[in-house]
Structure 1
Amino acid sequence: MNSNSVKIVEVNKANWYDCCQLEISDDQKAFIESNAISIAQSKFEPSLNPFAIYYEDKVVGFLMYNTVPEELDAFWVYRIMVDKSYQGKGIGKTATALMIEGMIETLNVDKIVVGYHPENKGAHHLYSSLGFVDQGDRFGREMAVVKTLK
């Protein structure tokens, strides 16, 4: 899947280490697990689908979603991150749109849910711009926003 200079590619032996080397800003570290932990998690939970985000053929981000419905009878996005050096360029939004397109094509998706910390303003802006709606659902320290597709 790709759109202009942004594409997402399943994590593989050629890009997994690059994903692990990506960094977020210090103020974002409280909101997201490391990519290394996410990749390890995907090896023990085979329904998780991890992807590298490429910008102009360079790994600049990471995302992961579940391929089976969970809480709220929806498919959950577990991670979306873009390296601190590439934030603010629309890469995360384009990659997320590509992910949603891929989920629609490969899964029987009615709803997609993303959970994030309420203080993560960047995540809030990204998901609301893509049509995710806060319906009041909370899971632990995270709020869940929902995109209904059907």
Structure 2
Amino acid sequence: MTTSVRLVEITGDNRDAVCALRVHPGQERFVASVAKSLEDAATTPEGEPWYRAVYVGDEPVGFVMLSWDVPPGRPGVLGPYYLWRLLVDGRYQGRGIGRAVLVEVVSLVRAVGGTELLTSHQPDDDGPGAFYRKFGFVPTGEIDDGEPVLRLDL
């Protein structure tokens, strides 16, 4: 099933609705809330945060945040393109939205000349690792803050 998503700037008009999005209970250990993600973006400018609300039609259904075009060698930041957060509200999971967001993100990164997209995840068996590997990410062998790092060649 192909789901059409739009990546929309977060503004005063949609911030509360986007911050209200929640993963299923029990998934909170895998991804920070939208509010925490926005706080992390504000307090980690060296990560070059780029974030958007994910919409299906007129409904906010998720959130995505990347480190965008980080200069090489910046300490403590994976990059240049790193998928920092991907959250799909529990009510909308299982509909292909996460995959559709990754397709959009890959297209955007390729359009600006990016050659790889990195991410990391909690190593738990029930975590998002299988989702990323199914999309085509492969382990790099690196560990960042206790999380295996994955790479998708673009």
Q: Calculate the TM-score normalised by the size of structure 1.
A: 0.86
Which runs of no fewer than 5 residues in structure 1 stay unpaired? none
The structure carrying a bigger helix percent of its residues is: 1
Quick one: which amino acid aligns to residue 145 of structure 1? Answer: L
Counterpart of 1:41?
40
Classify 1:72/1:66 alpha carbon distance in 2 versus 1 (closer, same or farther; 3 Å): closer
Q: CA deviation at 1:72?
A: 5.9
**Which of residues 127, 131, 138 in structure 2 aligns to 1:133?**
138
Counterpart of 2:19?
20
Answer whether contact 1:97 1:130 (CA < 8 A) is retained.
Answer: no
Q: CA deviation at 1:148?
A: 1.5
Provide the rounded CA distance (Å) in 1 between the counterparts of 2:53 and 2:137: 22
Counterpart of 1:91?
97
Q: CA deviation at 1:122?
A: 4.9
Counterpart of 1:79?
85
Quick one: which amino acid aligns to residue 29 of structure 1? Answer: E
* 3-state SS, counterpart of residue 119 of structure 2: strand
Q: How many residues align?
A: 146
Provide the rounded CA distance (Å) in 2 between the counterparts of 1:138 and 1:103: 23
Q: CA deviation at 1:43?
A: 2.7
Quick one: which amino acid aligns to residue 38 of structure 1? Answer: S
Classify 1:59/1:145 alpha carbon distance in 2 versus 1 (closer, same or farther; 3 Å): same
Classify 1:22/1:43 alpha carbon distance in 2 versus 1 (closer, same or farther; 3 Å): same
Which runs of no fewer than 5 residues in structure 2 stay unpaired? none
Classify 1:4/1:24 alpha carbon distance in 2 versus 1 (closer, same or farther; 3 Å): closer
Q: CA deviation at 1:96?
A: 1.3
- In the TM superposition, 1:116-127 aligns within 5 A as 116-119=121-124, 121-127=126-132
Q: Calculate the TM-score normalised by the size of structure 2.
A: 0.84
Provide the rounded CA distance (Å) in 1 between the counterparts of 2:42 and 2:145: 24
* 3-state SS, counterpart of residue 51 of structure 1: strand
Percent of residue pairs identical = 27
Q: CA deviation at 1:29?
A: 0.9
